[in-house]
Chains A and B, each alone.
With several copies, the nearest count.
Chain A
Amino acid sequence: MDLLEYQAKDLFRQMGIPVLPSQQIAQPRDLKGLKIPYPVVLKSQVYKGGRGKVGGIKFVENTIDAVAAAQAIFRLPIMGAYPEVLLAETKYDADREFYLAIVLDTSTRRPLLLGSQYGGVDVEAKLEHMQQVIVDQEFSLFYARRLAIKMGLTGELLEAVSAIIAKMYSLFVQQDLNLIEINPLAIGADGHLMALDGKVVIDDAALGRHADLAALVATTPQPVENPREVYSEQLKRVQLNGHIGVLCNGAGLTMATLDLIQSAKGKSACFVDLGGEYRHPCPPSTLQERLEQGLDLILQDKSVRVILINLLGSIISNPQVAEVIASYLSRRNRNWRLPPMVVRLVGDRLEEASALLAQANVPVVPSLDDAIAKCVILAQAKSA
């Protein structure tokens, strides 16, 4: 879960990472009560990057210019997103701009320190200068020094940058972050350091043990990664542009099923992933409820002409799965006509399951390829 710049800087401030005096601006007229002196930088607070290049950051010298600039920024979408708030910040003259970040490195399975003397907007262009240090044992300051030295720093700057990295690491671990990035870290003419922009990504899995962060993110609108997602409880429907509605358990199986539908010249309308079985707590009853919720979600999509249910190795038996589907259908079919459905099940007690669903006119197909072929034909038949 991403934090906005001003939220990231609040964390920086608490940890003693130097940031500039700043103020949140919820509407242009807030600038009349500005407590920091001009010149000031106004920055669009959005989750997307690249705001500087499209006009989301403006320098202003007085209130009149500031209000006008704020109005413009509030109306400016950054990669489709409008800011809810701006950050007004003291202007800072950087002598040089560094890049610092900490991420979780999946190949070494350890935190990775990243740093470059060439930060700012050009960081990706000067990737050859990026240095990295793996934190293989418990963190100690020498890991930070190792990065600073690889970055080519010496003397007081070596020590000052190491101290900032150590503070970033403390935040990273204390708050269970996936990413903490300072870009740019400005070096003033006097040698002082200042975090001019910051990015913090919280790990969703750990949010439950950070009440303060959970409260923080609850107060701000979260970015919708894909605007065409619809949620019900914890389940979500992802919208595509065909006619086969797919209900699966597990991300891998869902992806494989979508791939196979395309291979068979079919088009998926949407999918719902009921999830793996390892979520905690997950008694068998929950899966039955999720199955019904998933069907609800798919039936809400009016472009669905055929439903494919593909459940493999779920915690409940095949006849139990069949029973949930059959009873769901009998309840819903009373009111209106549902699209045809193909149920793919394999394993024990398949005959029982087939018999239960046969009464509802729903075929149980053990082969995934066959089940998909059947769906594709049904979808085409309906469109014809």
Chain B
Amino acid sequence: MSQVSLSPFPFRPSPPFPAFKDVSSDRQGLIQGLTEPLGMVYAPLMQAYGTAIVAGVSAGQGGKEIQGTPVFDMVEQAIAAVGSIQISVIFVPPYAVLDAALEAMAAGIRHLILITEGVPPLDMVHLLRRSEATETLVVGPSCPGIIVPGKILLGTHPPDLYAPGSIGLVSRSGSLTYEVAQELTQGGFGQSIAVSIGGDRIPGSSFQQWLQILEEDDQTEAIVLVGEIGGESEEMAARYIAEAIDKPVVAYVAGRTTPKGQLIGHAGAIISARMAGMGADVGTMTSKVTAFKRAKIPLAKSPSEIPLLLKRVMKA
């Protein structure tokens, strides 16, 4: 087995991230599934935060208005009516997410935030083949999206727990991200960007991809990575940080006391992980702690310890 074939699949370079932060420009956002329950709840919250959500799309509902936002049957109709759209936040039901994302990409949208939970993994494989070909950044599914505190909200983060600042926060959890954000805010560390890539097995973007974005982002001085047991994302991220990230990083991983029965591993998956050189215990807390230790990344014991570790690494 050559080492070459085992290296992570090379991600296409993502579009330059600062686009999200440049809220003063003409960047416009769309909600696909605006008439869905969550779409109706969160669209006004995003707009209230200052995000330019200019249209909604729900097939068969075109012509309606939801709290002042016009609804169209298709993305291309929305663009024809409101002008160029750069970002779509997707709330459609799980089996409609693939089609919605393909439709958005066909209409030229290159930033997709998938909020919906329960997207079948093979739909994500299909979606990612297309997003890589079109160089589209995909966040989610099953995630609260992105927040640039004080500027823009693309998803369901509770904005009152965040504050503007210089810490890049990347996570694969939902509410645990908010927990860490409010500890950071309480500890005097505002955030440059916070993103959750989602907890699904096939996420649209990886920790590595976001670490690279945060490394290149001028507003970000240090990075907090929040993980969970299960899967191999944290192990891969730890390796990547050691190789490619110069900014200080603090990590936190939840699940130390989670009962073992909760972790499911299949023969094939275990074999696959073991062959990737990550040991049979990949996904366990031991494996993740070892990976971060090997990469010399300080690991917080609790969310409230993160600001203390940040102070230490940012002084160094």
Q: State the A residues within 8 Å of B (CB).
A: 49, 101-112, 114, 123-124, 127-128, 130-132, 134, 136-138, 140-142, 145-146, 149, 154-156, 158-159, 162, 172-173, 176, 178-179, 181, 183, 199, 201, 203, 205-206, 208-209, 225-226, 238, 240, 248-253, 255-256, 258-263, 268, 276-284, 311-315, 346-348, 367-369
CA distance A106 to B282 in the complex (A): 12
B142: A residues at CB distance < 8 A: 276, 278
CA distance A73 to B145 in the complex (A): 51
Contact across chains for A259 and B257 when beta carbons are under 8 A apart: yes
Name 26 interchain pairs, CB-CB below 8 A, sorted by A.
Answer: A104-B122, A109-B125, A110-B128, A132-B1, A132-B6, A132-B272, A136-B129, A137-B102, A137-B106, A145-B103, A146-B74, A159-B59, A179-B267, A205-B120, A206-B123, A226-B259, A226-B262, A253-B174, A253-B254, A255-B255, A277-B144, A278-B38, A278-B156, A280-B91, A280-B93, A283-B37
Known contacts: A103-B272, A252-B174. The answer to whether A280 contacts B125 by CB under 8 A is no
CA distance A187 to B259 in the complex (A): 41
CA distance A103 to B269 in the complex (A): 6
A156: B residues at CB distance < 8 A: 60
Q: How many residues of B contact A (CB 8 A)?
A: 98
* Contact pattern, B 191-204, Cβ under 8 Å of A = 1, otherwise 0: 00000000101110
Cβ-based interface call for B275 (8 A): yes
CA distance A314 to B226 in the complex (A): 19
The listed residue with most B CB atoms (<10 A of its CB), out of A128, A146, A253, is A253
A203: B residues at CB distance < 8 A: 120-122
Nearest chain B CB to A11 CB, angstrom units: 16
CA distance A141 to B61 in the complex (A): 16
The listed residue with most B CB atoms (<10 A of its CB), out of A138, A173, A259, A284, is A259
Contact across chains for B37 and A138 when beta carbons are under 8 A apart: no
Q: Top 4 closest A-B pairs, CB basis?
A: A252-B173, A252-B176, A250-B175, A108-B9
Cβ-based interface call for B182 (8 A): yes
Contact across chains for B266 and A145 when beta carbons are under 8 A apart: no
CA distance A124 to B259 in the complex (A): 25
* Contact pattern, B 102-114, Cβ under 8 Å of A = 1, otherwise 0: 1100100000000
Known contacts: A111-B125, A159-B60, A255-B258. The answer to whether A278 contacts B232 by CB under 8 A is no
B128: A residues at CB distance < 8 A: 109-110
Contacts beyond the supplied A104-B122, A179-B267, A348-B160: 14 A-B pairs with Cβ under 8 Å: A103-B266, A137-B106, A141-B96, A142-B100, A145-B73, A176-B122, A252-B176, A253-B173, A253-B178, A261-B257, A262-B256, A312-B158, A312-B175, A347-B161
Nearest chain B CB to A142 CB, angstrom units: 4
A134: B residues at CB distance < 8 A: 5, 9
Cβ-based interface call for B302 (8 A): yes
Nearest chain A CB to B44 CB, angstrom units: 13
Nearest chain A CB to B95 CB, angstrom units: 6
Contact across chains for B99 and A127 when beta carbons are under 8 A apart: no
Cβ-based interface call for B216 (8 A): no
CA distance A136 to B102 in the complex (A): 12
Contact across chains for B179 and A102 when beta carbons are under 8 A apart: no
Contact across chains for B266 and A106 when beta carbons are under 8 A apart: no
Cβ-based interface call for B46 (8 A): no
CA distance A281 to B103 in the complex (A): 22
Interface residues of B in 40-95 (CB under 8 A from A): 41, 59-63, 73-77, 91, 93-95
Known contacts: A130-B271, A176-B122, A199-B267. The answer to whether A106 contacts B254 by CB under 8 A is no
Question: Which residue of B has the minimal Cβ distance to A344?
Answer: B179
User: Per a CB cutoff under 8 Å, which of B176, B232, B258 touches A107?
Assistant: B232
Contact across chains for A106 and B118 when beta carbons are under 8 A apart: no
Interface residues of B in 240-259 (CB under 8 A from A): 254-259
Nearest chain A CB to B49 CB, angstrom units: 13
Cβ-based interface call for B231 (8 A): yes
Question: Which residue of A has the minimal Cβ distance to B8?
Answer: A107
Known contacts: A142-B106, A178-B266. The answer to whether A255 contacts B229 by CB under 8 A is yes
Nearest chain B CB to A307 CB, angstrom units: 18
